[in-house]
Amino acid sequence: MREVIFDTETTGLDPKTGDRMVEIGCVEMVGRVETGRTFHAYFNPDRDMPPEAERVHGLSAAFLATKPRFAETAGELLEFLGDSNLVAHNAGFDFGFLNNELELAGRTPISLDRMVDTVALARKKHPGAKLSLDALCTRYGIDRSHRVKHGALLDAELLAQVYVELTGGRQIGLGLVDGPTESPALTEITPNAPWHRPSADNPRREPRPHMASPEELERHRAFIAQIKGAIWAD
Protein backbone atom coordinates (compact mmCIF):
# COMPACT_ATOMS: atom_id res chain seq x y z
CA MET A 1 0.00 0.00 0.00
CA ARG A 2 1.39 3.38 -1.03
CA GLU A 3 1.12 6.31 1.38
CA VAL A 4 2.53 9.83 1.35
CA ILE A 5 3.70 11.45 4.56
CA PHE A 6 3.67 15.24 4.28
CA ASP A 7 4.13 18.45 6.21
CA THR A 8 3.62 22.12 5.42
CA GLU A 9 4.97 25.47 6.60
CA THR A 10 2.76 28.54 6.43
CA THR A 11 2.55 32.28 7.09
CA GLY A 12 0.15 31.70 9.98
CA LEU A 13 -2.59 29.55 11.41
CA ASP A 14 -5.70 30.15 9.29
CA PRO A 15 -6.00 30.14 5.49
CA LYS A 16 -9.46 31.72 5.80
CA THR A 17 -7.87 34.94 7.05
CA GLY A 18 -5.32 35.14 4.23
CA ASP A 19 -2.53 32.94 5.51
CA ARG A 20 -0.74 30.96 2.81
CA MET A 21 1.30 27.80 2.49
CA VAL A 22 4.99 28.54 1.79
CA GLU A 23 6.58 25.07 1.87
CA ILE A 24 5.57 21.44 1.48
CA GLY A 25 7.60 18.28 1.97
CA CYS A 26 6.39 14.79 1.03
CA VAL A 27 7.87 11.33 1.64
CA GLU A 28 6.70 8.23 -0.25
CA MET A 29 6.17 4.99 1.68
CA VAL A 30 5.06 1.61 0.36
CA GLY A 31 4.27 -1.12 2.86
CA ARG A 32 5.32 1.35 5.60
CA VAL A 33 8.86 1.47 4.17
CA GLU A 34 10.38 4.66 2.76
CA THR A 35 11.24 4.26 -0.91
CA GLY A 36 13.60 7.23 -1.11
CA ARG A 37 11.22 9.25 -3.33
CA THR A 38 10.36 12.69 -2.01
CA PHE A 39 8.75 15.94 -3.17
CA HIS A 40 9.81 19.31 -1.77
CA ALA A 41 8.95 22.84 -2.81
CA TYR A 42 8.88 26.43 -1.54
CA PHE A 43 6.18 28.86 -2.68
CA ASN A 44 5.96 32.62 -3.07
CA PRO A 45 2.90 33.58 -0.96
CA ASP A 46 2.58 37.09 -2.47
CA ARG A 47 2.37 38.57 1.01
CA ASP A 48 4.49 39.45 4.02
CA MET A 49 5.89 36.94 6.49
CA PRO A 50 4.81 37.62 10.09
CA PRO A 51 7.81 37.62 12.46
CA GLU A 52 6.27 34.94 14.69
CA ALA A 53 5.93 32.57 11.72
CA GLU A 54 9.46 33.29 10.50
CA ARG A 55 10.81 32.45 13.95
CA VAL A 56 9.27 28.97 13.61
CA HIS A 57 10.52 27.98 10.15
CA GLY A 58 13.12 30.62 9.26
CA LEU A 59 11.60 31.42 5.85
CA SER A 60 11.72 35.14 5.07
CA ALA A 61 9.61 37.07 2.58
CA ALA A 62 12.80 37.97 0.68
CA PHE A 63 13.77 34.30 0.33
CA LEU A 64 10.29 33.23 -0.80
CA ALA A 65 9.96 36.10 -3.29
CA THR A 66 12.32 34.21 -5.61
CA LYS A 67 10.27 30.98 -5.48
CA PRO A 68 7.46 29.90 -7.83
CA ARG A 69 3.84 30.41 -6.89
CA PHE A 70 1.87 27.34 -5.83
CA ALA A 71 -0.18 27.26 -9.05
CA GLU A 72 3.02 26.88 -11.08
CA THR A 73 4.01 23.59 -9.41
CA ALA A 74 0.57 22.24 -8.41
CA GLY A 75 0.61 19.72 -11.25
CA GLU A 76 3.92 18.20 -10.14
CA LEU A 77 2.70 17.98 -6.55
CA LEU A 78 -0.58 16.33 -7.50
CA GLU A 79 1.25 13.83 -9.71
CA PHE A 80 3.45 12.87 -6.76
CA LEU A 81 0.50 12.57 -4.37
CA GLY A 82 -1.47 10.42 -6.82
CA ASP A 83 -4.48 8.76 -5.20
CA SER A 84 -2.59 7.63 -2.07
CA ASN A 85 -3.64 8.24 1.50
CA LEU A 86 -1.95 11.33 2.92
CA VAL A 87 -0.49 11.20 6.43
CA ALA A 88 0.19 14.35 8.46
CA HIS A 89 0.59 15.41 12.07
CA ASN A 90 -2.53 17.37 13.06
CA ALA A 91 -3.64 16.63 9.51
CA GLY A 92 -6.65 18.95 9.52
CA PHE A 93 -4.28 21.92 9.62
CA ASP A 94 -2.15 20.74 6.69
CA PHE A 95 -5.16 19.63 4.64
CA GLY A 96 -6.78 23.02 5.23
CA PHE A 97 -3.81 24.88 3.77
CA LEU A 98 -3.22 22.39 0.95
CA ASN A 99 -6.83 22.48 -0.18
CA ASN A 100 -6.95 26.26 0.11
CA GLU A 101 -3.99 26.52 -2.26
CA LEU A 102 -5.57 24.04 -4.66
CA GLU A 103 -8.80 26.04 -4.72
CA LEU A 104 -6.93 29.32 -5.30
CA ALA A 105 -5.14 27.59 -8.21
CA GLY A 106 -8.43 26.41 -9.69
CA ARG A 107 -7.76 22.78 -8.77
CA THR A 108 -10.04 20.22 -7.11
CA PRO A 109 -9.48 19.91 -3.35
CA ILE A 110 -8.28 16.59 -1.98
CA SER A 111 -10.94 14.45 -0.29
CA LEU A 112 -10.68 14.28 3.48
CA ASP A 113 -11.36 10.53 3.15
CA ARG A 114 -7.67 10.22 2.25
CA MET A 115 -6.53 11.95 5.44
CA VAL A 116 -4.60 10.05 8.13
CA ASP A 117 -3.89 12.07 11.28
CA THR A 118 -0.96 10.88 13.38
CA VAL A 119 -2.12 13.05 16.31
CA ALA A 120 -5.32 11.00 16.44
CA LEU A 121 -3.31 7.76 16.22
CA ALA A 122 -0.98 8.91 18.99
CA ARG A 123 -3.85 10.04 21.22
CA LYS A 124 -5.42 6.59 20.94
CA LYS A 125 -2.15 4.75 21.58
CA HIS A 126 -0.80 7.08 24.30
CA PRO A 127 -3.77 8.74 26.04
CA GLY A 128 -2.78 11.64 28.24
CA ALA A 129 0.78 11.84 26.86
CA LYS A 130 2.36 14.75 24.98
CA LEU A 131 1.57 14.41 21.29
CA SER A 132 3.89 16.90 19.59
CA LEU A 133 6.26 15.59 16.93
CA ASP A 134 9.20 16.32 19.23
CA ALA A 135 7.58 14.41 22.10
CA LEU A 136 6.85 11.38 19.92
CA CYS A 137 10.40 11.37 18.53
CA THR A 138 11.67 11.31 22.11
CA ARG A 139 9.28 8.49 23.05
CA TYR A 140 10.42 6.33 20.14
CA GLY A 141 14.12 7.20 20.28
CA ILE A 142 14.13 8.97 16.90
CA ASP A 143 17.07 11.33 16.44
CA ARG A 144 15.91 14.89 15.83
CA SER A 145 19.14 16.68 16.83
CA HIS A 146 19.38 18.23 13.35
CA ARG A 147 15.94 19.84 13.72
CA VAL A 148 16.94 23.38 14.67
CA LYS A 149 13.87 24.95 13.04
CA HIS A 150 10.74 23.49 11.50
CA GLY A 151 11.19 22.38 7.90
CA ALA A 152 8.53 20.64 5.84
CA LEU A 153 10.66 17.87 4.34
CA LEU A 154 12.67 17.26 7.51
CA ASP A 155 9.49 17.07 9.58
CA ALA A 156 7.89 14.72 7.04
CA GLU A 157 10.93 12.42 7.27
CA LEU A 158 10.71 12.40 11.08
CA LEU A 159 6.97 11.84 10.93
CA ALA A 160 7.45 8.86 8.60
CA GLN A 161 9.48 7.16 11.35
CA VAL A 162 6.92 8.09 14.00
CA TYR A 163 4.10 6.79 11.81
CA VAL A 164 5.76 3.39 11.48
CA GLU A 165 6.07 3.17 15.27
CA LEU A 166 2.46 4.23 15.78
CA THR A 167 1.21 1.57 13.38
CA GLY A 168 3.06 -1.45 14.65
CA GLY A 169 6.79 -0.82 14.71
CA ARG A 170 9.56 -1.15 12.18
CA GLN A 171 8.98 -4.83 11.47
CA ILE A 172 5.72 -3.96 9.69
CA GLY A 173 7.64 -2.91 6.57
CA LEU A 174 9.42 -6.24 6.16
CA GLY A 175 6.47 -8.04 4.61
CA LEU A 176 6.28 -8.73 0.90
CA VAL A 177 4.52 -6.18 -1.29
CA ASP A 178 1.54 -7.65 -3.14
CA GLY A 179 1.50 -7.27 -6.88
CA PRO A 180 3.75 -5.29 -9.23
CA THR A 181 4.94 -1.81 -8.36
CA GLU A 182 6.94 0.90 -10.09
CA SER A 183 8.85 1.88 -6.95
CA PRO A 184 12.30 0.30 -6.46
CA ALA A 185 13.42 -1.99 -3.64
CA LEU A 186 10.09 -2.18 -1.87
CA THR A 187 10.49 -5.68 -0.46
CA GLU A 188 13.46 -4.72 1.67
CA ILE A 189 14.50 -1.79 3.80
CA THR A 190 16.06 0.72 1.45
CA PRO A 191 19.40 2.48 2.09
CA ASN A 192 17.49 5.78 2.32
CA ALA A 193 15.37 4.60 5.24
CA PRO A 194 16.53 6.67 8.26
CA TRP A 195 16.85 3.66 10.57
CA HIS A 196 19.02 1.89 7.96
CA ARG A 197 21.75 4.50 8.17
CA PRO A 198 24.68 3.80 10.53
CA SER A 199 25.17 6.24 13.39
CA ALA A 200 27.24 6.57 16.54
CA ASP A 201 24.71 4.57 18.56
CA ASN A 202 23.79 2.22 15.71
CA PRO A 203 27.03 1.38 13.83
CA ARG A 204 27.00 -0.85 10.80
CA ARG A 205 28.18 -4.37 11.64
CA GLU A 206 29.33 -7.12 9.33
CA PRO A 207 26.87 -10.04 9.22
CA ARG A 208 27.77 -12.89 11.54
CA PRO A 209 28.14 -16.43 10.09
CA HIS A 210 25.28 -18.77 10.99
CA MET A 211 26.60 -21.97 9.41
CA ALA A 212 28.68 -24.50 11.38
CA SER A 213 32.29 -24.78 10.25
CA PRO A 214 33.69 -28.17 9.06
CA GLU A 215 35.58 -28.49 12.37
CA GLU A 216 32.39 -27.90 14.35
CA LEU A 217 30.51 -30.49 12.28
CA GLU A 218 33.27 -33.06 12.88
CA ARG A 219 33.22 -32.46 16.65
CA HIS A 220 29.44 -32.88 16.59
CA ARG A 221 29.68 -36.21 14.77
CA ALA A 222 32.29 -37.44 17.27
CA PHE A 223 30.05 -36.42 20.17
CA ILE A 224 26.99 -38.17 18.71
CA ALA A 225 29.03 -41.37 18.15
CA GLN A 226 29.71 -41.60 21.90
CA ILE A 227 26.02 -41.81 22.79
CA LYS A 228 25.04 -45.42 23.55
CA GLY A 229 21.61 -46.77 22.59
CA ALA A 230 20.56 -43.70 20.68
CA ILE A 231 17.06 -44.12 19.24
CA TRP A 232 18.10 -42.51 15.93
CA ALA A 233 20.66 -45.30 15.43
CA ASP A 234 17.94 -48.04 15.27
pLDDT at 187: 36
pLDDT at 149: 66
Q: Is the pLDDT of residue 191 over 90?
A: no
Q: Is 150 a catalytic residue?
A: yes
Residue 212 to residue 20: CA distance in whole angstroms: 63
Q: Is the pLDDT of residue 5 over 90?
A: yes
Q: What average pLDDT does the chain have?
A: 85
Region 185-202: mean pLDDT is 47
Residue 210 to residue 120: CA distance in whole angstroms: 43
pLDDT at 184: 39
Indicate the pTM of the whole model: 0.71
Tell which wins on pLDDT, 44 or 150.
Answer: 44
Over residues 160-187, the pLDDT tens digits come to 999 999 998 765 444 444 444 444 333 3
Categorize the per-residue pLDDT at 222 as very low, low, confident or very high, splitting at 50, 70 and 90: confident
pLDDT at 26: 97
Q: Which of 40, 150, 196, 210 is catalytic?
A: 150
Q: The domain 2-233 belongs to what CATH superfamily?
A: Ribonuclease H-like superfamily/Ribonuclease H (3.30.420.10)
Q: Which 8-state DSSP code applies to residue 17?
A: G
Categorize the per-residue pLDDT at 117 as very low, low, confident or very high, splitting at 50, 70 and 90: very high
Residue 109 to residue 100: CA distance in whole angstroms: 8
Region 191-211: mean pLDDT is 56
Region 13-22: mean pLDDT is 96
Q: 85-119: buried (b, 16+ CB within 10 Å) or exposed (e) per residue?
A: ebbbbebebbbbbbbbbbeeeebeebeeebbbbbb
Over residues 57-98, the pLDDT tens digits come to 999 999 999 999 999 999 999 999 999 999 999 999 999 999
